[in-house]
């Protein structure tokens, strides 16, 4: 089955640091990947759709300059949280769909727990 790998799984860093999270589709090519954020006991919130070879599409209220997304290849998307602050602490999860057909599910990575001190 489709496997999505996300790295790192856990990050603890000081306020002001920029943090990069990688999302890879291991056994399929993904022209589109998705980045979600989830605060404790809350539902998934879609942040942006990452498109290979073009700009990401951000959801309303998500700062483009704060959350930089790069999708340079068909198997890799990265999310960089720039100048992270404690309020950016959250669980970040990526997902990807296999490109064949409109009924394909999204497959999720294991998530990255980000803690900003």
Contacting range for other proteins; rule: CB under 8 A; set: 14-22, 63-71, 72-80, 96-104: 96-104
Cβ neighbours of 19 (radius 10 Å): 19
Phi, psi dihedral angles at 38 (to 5 degrees):
-140, 120
Peptide bond into 8 cis (omega under 30): yes
100 binds other proteins (CB under 8 A): no
Least CB distance to other proteins at residue 14 (A): 24
Residues 38-67 binding other proteins (CB under 8 A) are 42-44, 46, 49
Out of 111, 114, 115, 116, point to the residue binding other proteins (CB under 8 A).
111
CA nearest neighbour of 115 among 17, 22, 6, 3: 17
* Sign of the four-CA dihedral 65, 20, 37, 98: positive
Out of 37, 107, 114, 116, point to the residue binding other proteins (CB under 8 A).
107
Out of 3, 85, 110, 115, point to the residue binding other proteins (CB under 8 A).
110
Helices and strands, counts by H and E, the chain: 0, 11
Q: Which residues bind other proteins (CB under 8 A)?
A: 6, 32, 34, 42-44, 46, 49, 91, 93, 97, 102-103, 105-111
């Amino acid at each position: 089955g489709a496997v999505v790998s996300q790295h790192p799984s856990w990050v603890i860093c000081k306020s002001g640091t920029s943090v990069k999270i990688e999302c890879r589709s291991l056994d399929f090519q993904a022209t589109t990947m998705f980045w979600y954020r989830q605060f404790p006991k809350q539902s998934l919130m879609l942040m942006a759709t990452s498109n290979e070879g073009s700009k990401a599409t951000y959801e309303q209220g998500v700062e483009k300059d704060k959350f930089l997304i790069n999708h340079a290849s068909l198997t890799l998307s990265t999310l960089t949280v720039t100048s992270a602050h404690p309020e950016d602490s959250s669980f970040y999860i990526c997902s990807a769909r296999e490109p064949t057909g409109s009924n394909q599910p999204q497959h999720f990575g294991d998530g990255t727990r980000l803690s900003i001190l």
